[in-house]
């Protein structure tokens, strides 16, 4: 009875398990109608090390909305056999393995940290759009994506870029790296992008940019606004023969350079419709290391005008003052530290003497214990070797008595 009940319970568990896993298969159905251009799958949780019976719908365009997966791994994308366009929105997809026959990969606001691209020529992917995510650099091996036309990596956390990674991507027409934290562009001897039409580096932390070695014969749009640029090097008609729209507002260009640059640009006939402000700042600013930490309004606030001697003197005085305050503070911290160290040493030496006293006491206690043991040994009752006084007299008396009796009988 008991046994068959247990058996029944096990059977129920197995049935429930089977139902739940088949439910998983059934649940991966598009939220929109089957005839829709794309198939949206919402609120999925995928465990990349335990895929179970995960199956994606047979569809060429899948959108994963609010999906959670630590790694959209090779094993996961293998199960998306039919997918050629993949879009990921919201949710949390930390790492994405690039499926080798995708035409388009779009990921936005999905906490993506990297896209893993295999080291092999890829002639399929045309568009990569990873925006509002957590990328720290342009994905490695991007140079293998020979068919790439559009690369959008705006609103990530990219700090340095090596545009040389893109050298020779002959179909690349649009690059958007805006709203990152780019403060450094790794210099390359040549950067040829024969079909590039637009490049945006808006809203970054660049302090200078040098177009030496760039071969971009078709570039029409160049946006470098909202940086911390003090000057632009090698910007001329030879490098940019097709430029139509150039936008560099909200930088902190050096006046000594800016005025001539603007008057030069105004002579280019292609710039007829472009408005170029002559806005600039006098003087030199903080070291480039500081730019990364500060935004433009901060930088403006802290920049000095080297022509204004009085202002400069004030700045220096205030810096010296701050420096003194800091060093006073450091001194007081030092002396307080010294104080604490002394106290600690005192306490620890007291502790040491106490410790040695305790050790001494322990030795004494041990000795006492040994002595006690000796004393106890001595106090143990020993076999009587002498007869008590009264008994002896009694015995003597009795013996005398017996002798006396014997004598009388004789």
Ligand X SMILES: *[C@@H]1O[C@H](CO)[C@@H](O)[C@H](O)[C@H]1NC(C)=O
Return residues touching ligand X (CB under 6 A). Answer: 37, 47, 49-50, 61, 85, 103-104, 123, 126-127, 146-147, 171, 295, 297-298
In the complex with ligand X, the residue whose CB is nearer, 265 or 299, is 299
In the complex with ligand X, the residue whose CB is nearer, 47 or 322, is 47
In the complex with ligand X, the residue whose CB is nearer, 59 or 261, is 59
Query: What burial letters (b/e) apply to 180-216, b meaning 16+ CB within 10 Å?
Result: bebbbbeebeebbbeebbbbbbbbbbbbebebeebeb
How many CA atoms lie within 13 Å of 7's alpha carbon, on the beta-carbon side? 4
Distance CA 70, CA 92 (A): 7
In the complex with ligand X, the residue whose CB is nearer, 81 or 123, is 123
In the complex with ligand X, the residue whose CB is nearer, 36 or 341, is 36
In the complex with ligand X, the residue whose CB is nearer, 125 or 185, is 125
Q: Residue 220 in contact with residue 195, Cβ under 8 Å? A: no
User: How many Cβ atoms sit within 10 Å of the Cβ of residue 137?
Assistant: 18
Distance CA 394, CA 410 (A): 24
Positive or negative, the CA dihedral 339, 340, 343, 344 is: negative
Please provide residue 105's backbone torsions phi and psi, each rounded to the nearest 5 degrees.
Answer: -125, 120
In the complex with ligand X, the residue whose CB is nearer, 61 or 247, is 61
Distance CA 240, CA 218 (A): 8
Residue 243 CB, nearest approach to ligand X (Å): 23
Residue 104 CB, nearest approach to ligand X (Å): 3
Residue 317 CB, nearest approach to ligand X (Å): 23
With 0-12 / 13-18 / 19 or more C-beta atoms within 10 angstroms meaning exposed / middle / buried, residue 272 is: exposed
How many CA atoms lie within 13 Å of 137's alpha carbon, on the beta-carbon side? 15
With 0-12 / 13-18 / 19 or more C-beta atoms within 10 angstroms meaning exposed / middle / buried, residue 349 is: exposed
DSSP at 281: B
């Amino acid at each position: 009875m008991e046994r068959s009940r247990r058996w029944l319970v096990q059977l129920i568990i197995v049935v429930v398990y089977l139902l739940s896993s088949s439910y998983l298969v059934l649940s991966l159905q598009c939220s929109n109608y089957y005839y829709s251009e794309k198939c949206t799958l919402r609120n999925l949780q995928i465990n990349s090390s335990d895929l179970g019976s995960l199956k994606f719908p047979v569809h060429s365009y899948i959108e994963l909305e609010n999906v959670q997966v630590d790694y959209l791994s090779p094993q996961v994308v293998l199960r998306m056999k039919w997918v050629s366009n993949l879009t990921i929105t919201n949710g949390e997809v930390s790492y994405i393995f690039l499926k080798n026959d995708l035409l388009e990969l779009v990921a936005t606001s999905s906490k993506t940290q990297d896209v893993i691209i295999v080291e092999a020529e890829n002639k399929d992917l045309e568009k990569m759009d990873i925006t509002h995510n957590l990328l720290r650099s342009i994905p490695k091996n991007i140079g293998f994506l020979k068919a790439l036309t559009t690369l959008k990596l705006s609103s990530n956390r990219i700090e340095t870029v090596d545009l040389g990674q893109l050298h020779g991507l002959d179909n690349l027409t649009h690059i958007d790296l805006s709203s990152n934290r780019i403060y450094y562009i790794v210099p390359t001897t040549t950067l040829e992008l024969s079909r590039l039409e637009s490049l945006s580096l808006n809203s970054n932390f660049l302090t200078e940019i040098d177009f030496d070695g760039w071969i971009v014969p078709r570039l029409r749009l160049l946006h470098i606004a909202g940086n911390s640029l003090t000057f632009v090097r090698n910007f001329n008609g030879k490098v940019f023969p097709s430029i139509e729209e150039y936008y560099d507002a909200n930088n902190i260009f050096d006046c000594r350079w800016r005025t001539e640059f603007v008057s030069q640009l105004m002579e280019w006939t292609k710039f007829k419709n472009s408005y170029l402000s002559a806005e600039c700042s006098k003087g030199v600013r903080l070291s480039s290391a500081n730019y990364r930490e500060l935004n433009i309004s901060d930088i403006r606030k802290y920049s000095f005008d080297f022509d204004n001697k009085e202002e400069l003197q004030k700045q220096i005085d205030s810096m010296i003052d701050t420096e003194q305050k800091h060093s006073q503070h450091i001194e007081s911290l030092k002396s307080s530290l010294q104080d604490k160290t002394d106290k600690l040493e005192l306490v620890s030496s007291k502790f040491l003497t106490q410790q040695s006293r305790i050790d001494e006491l322990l030795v004494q206690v041990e000795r006492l214990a040994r002595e006690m043991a000796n004393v106890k040994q001595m106090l143990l009752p020993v076999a009587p070797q002498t007869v008590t006084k009264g008994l002896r007299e009694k015995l003597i008396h009795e013996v005398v008595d017996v002798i006396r009796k014997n004598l009388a009988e004789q």
